[in-house]
Amino acid sequence: MCFRVKMFRLDSCLLYIFYTWSIWTLASTTVKCTNLTLVCTKSIIITSPNYPLRYPNGASKEWFITAPPNRRILVTFNDFSLEDTLDLIIIRDMSDIKTYTGENKQFTPYLTSSHTLHIEFTSTRSGRRTGFNITVSCNELSNALSGRLMDGASPAEGFLELPTQSGEWKRVCEDSLTETVAGVICGELGYPGFKEISYENSTCASDRLEGTCTRAPRCNPNTYRLMDCAAEHSMCSSENGVKIKCHEPGYKGCYELETMTEQNGFTFSSTARCINSCKTHEIQTIAITNHVECFCSTSAEVQLVDAPKCSEETTSLSKMEVYDASIGFCEELNDTIGGSWDSNITWFGSIVLLTCMDGYSLKGNGTLQCVPELTPYYPVWNDTIPDCTMDGR
């Protein structure tokens, strides 16, 4: 909602006001905020003030859009013409921030990673254009060319496979694979970007007559769906298949946070255990890890706006990966009268095992994994929750 989000972004708003005050006077600018609920049976049209006529100077308007929890939002730019670099549209997703500007521009559709979206439009006190016309709708993955990751240790990693027109899946070979394509794949699957690309022998070139592998498509920058990329039809020349590892839900980036090393963190065995330890129901927390120690903090205590991003020169202890520790969890599991779980970690990708005591029998699948439903940000257990029942009943 408008008021709640503005309070949460107080630190960013203060910096934003100071910056814009140096360019034009804000006193006469009126900020209009609209909350919209997206019903997936129809789309929503968002336009600049006065569209298709020229928008006013000093305009500021925001839209907060919410779709059903298990759906993602697609933003399609039908018409776009703003004063270049000065008048802006800013799109804020749960895991990303994108800025759009320029005259008579054509942008590829933007796909969110979750069911919420914040769109902000601002214009300066000089220069006006015809503005924008944007369609906001629920993304229909069933009608889109979407890849999948197979045979990985986590749902966020594995061999990249793409569907063919005949409905079969083919592994992608190393030829023409770029980081842009990996980013599109992870983004369309609902993850906040890719973490790592690797290659493993899959006899792609040797089996090209059987057609077991295919080349990756060509994707331009700022592309968010595979259907907006150009398909490659030539045969594979490499034997290697592509393996992609995406960032897990809630990943906010890697930052140089040297001050965190001065605090007392705690050692941990996995990223999942770090994030699970930082989870709280009272306030929004973030988990910060350098893969040696884990630090828990509130989002208000750690300022990421001015923090430098990680680079090759960043020391390993100062290289901090930041996660939102309030999302990406499956339903909590409680021990039963006749059995107990081997772990209380319910974060994305976690695997838990229910063991029954003597005199009790397992009813259902005793091993569960926390996997994506339509988006990794709201995962579910991959099977019904089992139980331990007393023998003889």
Is 341:352 a contact under the CB 8 Å cutoff? yes
In the predicted model, is pLDDT for residue 313 greater than 90? no
Is the per-residue pLDDT at 364 higher than 70?
Answer: yes
CA distances in angstroms from 336 to 234, 340, 362, 369, 384, listed in the order given = 56, 6, 11, 18, 15
Overall average pLDDT of the 99-127 stretch: 90
Confidence of residue 102 (pLDDT cuts 50, 70, 90): very high
Cα 349 from Cα 372, distance rounded (Å) = 9
Residue 143 pLDDT > 80, yes or no?
no
pLDDT for the residue 222: 81
Query: Which pLDDT value is given to residue 373?
Result: 83
Mean pLDDT score, 163-189? 88
Please state the rounded mean pLDDT for residues 301-323.
78
Structural domains of the chain, ranges and CATH numbers in brackets: 2-139 (2.60.120.290), 143-246 (3.10.250.10), 251-324 (no CATH), 339-390 (2.10.70.10)
Q: Is the peptide bond before 308 cis (omega within 30 degrees of 0)?
A: no
Better pLDDT: 228 or 53: 53
Q: How many residues does the chain have?
A: 393
Q: Does position 144 have pLDDT exceeding 60, yes or no?
A: no
Q: What pLDDT was estimated at residue 264?
A: 62
User: Please, which pLDDT band fits residue 282 given cuts at 50, 70 and 90?
Assistant: low
Closest of 200, 216, 332, 325 to residue 268, by C-alpha: 325
Q: Are strands 169-172 and 148-150 parallel, antiparallel or unpaired?
A: unpaired
